[in-house]
A and B are shown apart, each in its own frame.
Chain A
Amino acid sequence: MVKVKLYAYLRDNRGKEVDFEYRTGLTIADIAKELELDLSDVSIIICDGKDDVPEKMKDVEVKEDSLVHFFPPVAGG
């Protein structure tokens, strides 16, 4: 099972956490599509300890037990 976590307003209508059935070749872009998540609304994606912008992460193939975080543009200090 692939676990997906969402934050801030990406949670609207989607909830905090969604579990995905794993299939071979499942990419982060596939997950976003199934969640109706426009990657232009996402700023940072973290998958199994690797963090980067959507362009660099979208083609990453997840593993059976991957944890994927989607963050919208956020900041503070």
Chain B
Amino acid sequence: MYGYMGKILRINLSNGSIKVDDLDFELAKKFVGGRGLGTKMLYDEIDPKVDALSPENKIIFMNGPMSGTPTPTGGRYMVITKSPLSGTIASSNSGGTWGARLKYAGYDGIIVEGKADKPVYVEIHEENVEIKDASHVWGKLVGETTDILQKDKDTNVLAIGPGGEKLSRMAAVMNERDRAAGRSGVGAVMGSKNLKAIVVSGKKKVNLFNEAKTRDNNKEATNKLKENPVTGQGLPTYGTAVLVNVINANGVLPTHNFQKGFFDAADDISGETLAEKYLLRKDPCHRCPIACGRYTKTDKVEGGGPEYETIWAFGSDCGVKDLEAIIEANHWCNQYGVDTISVGATLAAAMELKEKGLLEDVDFEGHALDFGNAEAMVYWTKKIGAREGFGDKMAEGSLRLCKEYGREDLSMTVKGLELPAYDPRGVQGHGLTYATSNRGGCHVRGYMISPEILGLPDKLDRLELKDKPLWVKIFQDLTAFIDSTGLCLFTSFALGADDYANIYNAIVGTEWSGDDVLKAGERIYNIERQFNLEAGIMPDQDTLPKRLLEEEMPEGPSKGHIHHLDKLLPEYYELRGWDAQGFPTKERLADLGL
């Protein structure tokens, strides 16, 4: 078996059993790995209707065939489980080195079942796997937990913080301190199982089908990444935050909880300002020549990040123009182990509830959650992490918060997941990906910003509807494949489906074409859809917040526009081979081998 280690670790925390399953190679090839294979395993092993925070849910940490290989960016892994935030399939991706290290320990993935009766962590050194008492690290922040559990530089620590322990529906799984499988509340599932951390070490090697060809492929891919102006210059120099200005100049930088799409102080919180004032160094993931990761320092904190999405969530969405405060909020999210996008977006929703006079009964402890109040934004970020005071309510996420105050319409979420940093009223294709993403409001399931705003690979008119459903489908399918390989999605700014097929073939020993890559992606997309349907997430949830469908953008370069989902969705369903109501047809599922 090439590319894969051939072994899946199965840990049952209820009875303490540790087993090693053989990987089914045919199944692996069908679903690739990572997001695809993990979803297939979860779908086969749990009832999608299960309560996400019950012992019956499982959490799977899954590598792809390229994780742990010398392929550029080959170190990413996926966390797959049922989401406690949205009730959909959750698959959260993280970089750093932990995923690659799990391969070096000899495993493609880990399935965690049941629930421990007291806090535990798992320690893996190749064949030696132990479930250990975690009482000395329970309650501790992610940084301190990592310091205590990391024995040497060849050990990698994945952990949850107090956010996960206290079952915040926005809790992240963290690795190497500040790399996050951030979205969908996956950290709370670990917390619900009393699982604090997974510590991994090992020195095994991944066998490659054709080493010489892999070397050539890697050289070619690295050259393409270096020569491409985005992956070779823009991302390495400024990180993802370089987007702040271009998104704002198009009038789609959500501001004040999506009440508008233009932020006057965008340059104050931009990647350019970050690089000029706070950047200490680049902070790349395992074997990554792009190195978009930032390591920053202010007078108060230092550490990894912040990313563009984080800057937007705590910045323009909360009306905050103080970049130091944003860096601090990012730091506390990493320490408490909570998702920066969902936390920032929930704070913004609370600010709008307060602005509308709906939070009269809330004790703000002298830190009024008003748009633009940077100090209160940081204060309540910590309180969400610790689930204290009003922070306890906000830790349930924007949808539950807004519902409690009778204003579900103010929650900028899709299927319960907080929307990220692009207002779909000015980017029509991107709005369709939000509405149809299998994990809810997400930007990295089909990043239409690339063609609609950045002109990659071609520039599309961002307001045009024609052909957008087809673009969305292709982007979603390609992304599903990339997410399943162990490579970073950012490679797709420079590489295409044929490049991925070549890399996969040389590592695994297949003879796939670019079309096979897209078909595998489509298969993965459909099994996620099936999981959601069986979980009770029906096609009527393929929608956007009412504000974005009905209220015209009030000002800025996208003024006067709404999102035209009703005009895009029927064609999208048809292209997917789903019926007019949005259910996959038997024929299409059979065609995909499902």
Contact = CB atoms under 8 A, between A and B. Distances in A.
Contacts of A56: 459
Q: On chain A, which size bracket covers the interface?
A: 20 to 34
Interface in A55-77: 56, 69, 71-77
Nearest to A43: B455
A28 B444 CA distance: 34
Nearest to A49: B557
A72 B229 contact: yes
Interface string A1-32: 00001011101000010000000000000000
A75 B455 CA distance: 10
A77 B234 contact: no
Interface string B230-252: 11011101111111011001110
Interface residues of B, number: 41
A8 B307 CA distance: 16
B322 interface: no
B302 interface: no
Interface in A26-43: 43
A46 B252 CA distance: 13
A11 B443 CA distance: 29
Given A53-B459, A73-B230, A46 B250 contact: yes
A44 B453 contact: yes
Contacts, number: 92
B230 A74 contact: yes
Contacts of B82: none
A9 B231 CA distance: 14
Contact of A8 (B249, B272, B443, B444): B272
Contact of A77 (B233, B237, B444, B455): B444
What is the predominant secondary structure among interface residues of chain B facing chain A?
helix
A56 B241 CA distance: 27
A46 B453 CA distance: 10
Contact of B455 (A11, A53, A69): A53
Contacts of B237: 8-9
Given A44-B246, A77-B447, A77-B449, A8 B271 contact: yes
Nearest to A75: B230
Contact of A75 (B234, B267, B272, B462): B234
Contact of A76 (B240, B250, B267, B455): B240
Given A44-B455, A51-B453, A76 B249 contact: no
Interface of A: 5, 7-9, 11, 16, 43-44, 46, 49, 51-53, 56, 69, 71-77
Closest 4 CB pairs of A and B: A76-B240, A73-B229, A76-B243, A74-B234
17 contacts: A7-B246, A7-B272, A11-B272, A44-B459, A46-B557, A51-B462, A52-B455, A72-B229, A72-B234, A74-B235, A75-B234, A75-B235, A75-B243, A76-B240, A76-B243, A76-B307, A77-B308
